[in-house]
Amino acid sequence: MAGTGRIYVTAVRGVGDVNLTHKYDVDIRFDIAFDWGGYNYGGAPYSMSCDGQNTSGSATFAVGSGGGQWIWTNIGGTKTFRITMPTSGQSKNIGFSATINTGINPATISANGSYALPAITWEHTVSYNANGGTGAPDNQKKIYGSVLTLSSVRPTRDGYVFMGWATSSAGDVAYMPGSTYGADADVTLYAVWQIAYIKPTITGLTALRCDSSGTPKSDGTYIKVTGSWQVDRTLNSSNKATSVKIEYQKTASGSPVKAKEAYPNTTSGNIAEVIGSGNISTSSIYFVLVTVTDYGGNQQETVIVPAQARAVDVARKGYSVAIGGVASDEKDGFDVYSEARFKDKLLLERDGVLLDFGICQNYDSGVIKGPYTSTNSANNIRVELKRRGCLVACKITMLSKFPSSGRHGAFDEVRIPDGYRPVFDVYAPYIEVSGSSVFGAGRYIIGSDGGITIFVENPNWTERLLSTTWITDNN
């Protein structure tokens, strides 16, 4: 009687999270066969080896009756060996063998074989491209066999709405922020943008008292409304105005009265209407409201029509005085309906405190490159200042990446100019933001010499926005 054996791989699979350490489970099966049957044997010792790992046991086998054919019988069941793969990108060839002492003729049956495990790239990179916008997330690492949760950071772009991520610059949305990516491959995800809706524009809107023919009159009981409008067709080339409505109301808290409404179904037009039907009171202020509606939404503009022009007016009751209009009988106070020019300082005394309200002065540095363009060429800073009297309102917008955390400055690129500097150093905290995520916190120091210094917690590319106010005596 002749006997033989065979050993072979039945399955190879990654091992869950153990996959992070490059491990596989390899299933191996050992079979024996005889060309003549009818034998039963118990307690036959066997051994199996795979990649230097060994296992053994005792098996009972029964070879069915028959002759002239090989009758295969599994010995010891399927055995699993845990194999560690080499570094990323390298294949591995494993060898395995098995023997069994049958106790019959032949007494020992053995077999061996080998199996090639293919090379695996264990880490892949998911990168993000803002595709014309800013604020793309940082790259992410994706481990072979695992599922990666994509960054929840959303980029921004002026005039556009972020829709999601595509796998090509002109592709459709394939992934959303926070969704999962399971492919074992490098990928660049591109931001998909949709043009934002732009409201209709209303320009040159005026409203004047007039007579019934539209001739301007300071004591007119009609209102002539003029202007022009246009809808935007960037998002929808078929966009048109569905309604142009003119309303008026007596005082800011009054109820609107619809005077005119047209349905032009065109992309632009002019307004030239006389409204009011002779019922416009000469002693009241009126608000004229023009609303243009298109396929996407609407835009409303308001213009004020003063009461009948008068140099000085005193209310019939109460303690109200007006210049250039009619004094209110409903609320005490001082109203000015025309341009006011003061030849000297404007001083306000309240509760024994005298406040100086001088002319408002403005400063805007514009967007300036830097600081630390050697770290990131896109670094930029903008300083906006408004001064009224001795009070300065400051807004600093910085988009930047720094070489390290800690203190940086004072910067050479921009300083607080003369006339706006604080009387003493100002320490003001800020948060470090990218998209909708807060990455860190820091503080600005605005020196009395105009220097701008910053303490950085997270040196990565973030927005560092500051809005603060200080007192100045800097002339």
CATH superfamily of 123-195: Listeria-Bacteroides repeat domain (2.60.40.4270)
The phi and psi torsions of 421 (rounded to 5 degrees) equal -75, 145
Residue 148: pLDDT band (50, 70, 90) is very high
The alpha carbons of the chain give a radius of gyration, in whole angstroms, of 41
The C-alpha atoms of residue 109 and residue 128 are separated, in whole angstroms, by 59
Residue-range domain boundaries for the chain: 3-117, 123-195, 201-305, 311-340, 361-471
pLDDT tens profile 192-204: 999 888 999 999 9
| pLDDT > 70 in the chain, percent | 90
Please choose, from the candidates 3, 82, 73, the residue with its C-alpha nearest in 3D space to the C-alpha of residue 42.
73
How much is the average pLDDT of 307-311?
75
CA angle at 224 for the pair 209 and 276, rounded to the nearest 5°: 80
Question: 110-125: per-residue pLDDT in tens?
Answer: 999 999 988 777 788 9
| pLDDT of 162 strictly over 60 | yes
Tell me which of 37-46, 404-413, 451-460 is least confident.
37-46
Q: Residue 475 pLDDT > 90, yes or no?
A: no
Token look-up 């990168």 returns: 127
Least confident interval from 84-98, 152-166, 286-300: 84-98
Name the strands in the sheet holding 222-230, side by side, starting at the edge strand that comes first in the sequence: 201-210, 222-230, 268-275
**pLDDT at res. 3:** 84
Question: Rounded CA gap, 179 and 196, in Å?
Answer: 24
In this predicted structure, the answer to whether residue 261 has a pLDDT above a threshold of 90 is yes
CATH superfamily of 3-117: Immunoglobulins (2.60.40.10)
- The string of DSSP letters for 370-395 reads -S-TTT-TT-EEEEEEEEETTEEEEE
pLDDT at 239 over 70: yes
**Cα–Cα distance measured from residue 272 to residue 204, given in angstroms and rounded to the nearest whole number:** 11
Task: Tell me how far CA of residue 29 lies from CA of 9, 13, 61, 100, in angstroms.
Answer: 7, 15, 15, 13
**Which residues contact residue 213 at a Cβ distance below 8 angstroms, ignoring those fewer than 6 apart?**
274
Q: Is the pLDDT of residue 17 over 60?
A: no
Q: How is residue 308 annotated by DSSP?
A: S
73-87: pLDDT as tens digits? 899 999 999 988 876
State residue 251's pLDDT score: 77
Pair of tokens at residue 459: 């040196």
- Between CA 360 and CA 358 the distance in angstroms is 6
Asked whether the predicted pLDDT for residue 254 surpasses 70, the reply is yes
pLDDT in tens, 212-235: 999 999 889 999 999 999 999 988
Q: Averaged over 360-376, what is the pLDDT? A: 92
Residue 348's pLDDT band, with cuts at 50, 70 and 90, is low
Round to whole Å and give the CA distance between 214 and 278.
11
Quote the mean pLDDT of the chain: 89
Which candidate, 321, 303, 320, places its Cα nearest to that of 312? 321
Does 123-195 match 361-471 in CATH topology?
A: yes
Looking at residue 448, what is its pLDDT? 94
Q: What is 201-305's CATH superfamily?
A: Immunoglobulins (2.60.40.10)
- 26-46: per-residue pLDDT in tens? 999 999 988 776 677 888 999
Burial 69-102 (b: 16+ CB within 10 A, else e): eebebebbeebebebebeeeeeebebebbbbbbb
Give the pLDDT band (50/70/90) at residue 284: confident
Task: Compute the average pLDDT of residues 301-308.
Answer: 89
For the chain, what's the residue count?
475
* CATH hierarchy code of domain 361-471: 2.60.40.1830
